[in-house]
Structure 1
Amino acid sequence: PPPDPERSFYFPLHLELDLERGPWDDEDFDVDEVEEGPVFALCMAGAG
């Protein structure tokens, strides 16, 4: 079955929260890069 649209939105959200709680809070640029990768991949997978 196709991926659930809601799951595609919520999974990155949970991932984001986990990253914010990580020990690298101060390194915002690193967190941004890590967030964009999975989110972009999920968006492309959902669009395809």
Structure 2
Amino acid sequence: MMRRVVVTGISVVSPLGCEISEFWDRLCTGKSDIVPLRRFDVDGF
């Protein structure tokens, strides 16, 4: 038995942005906001 699925909206939370248009624009232009983590010591990870 197949169940129906309804998508009522989309969202994104990313280093590239928190709005779809901002995220998509930065993704398409090759922008990257991923940087080394300096807020706390990560040596144990």
Q: Same fold (TM over 0.5)?
A: no
Larger Rg: 2
Which protein, 1 or 2, shows the higher relative CO under an 8 Å CA cutoff with sep ≥ 6?
1
Structure number with higher helix proportion:
1
TM-score, scaled relative to structure 2: 0.30
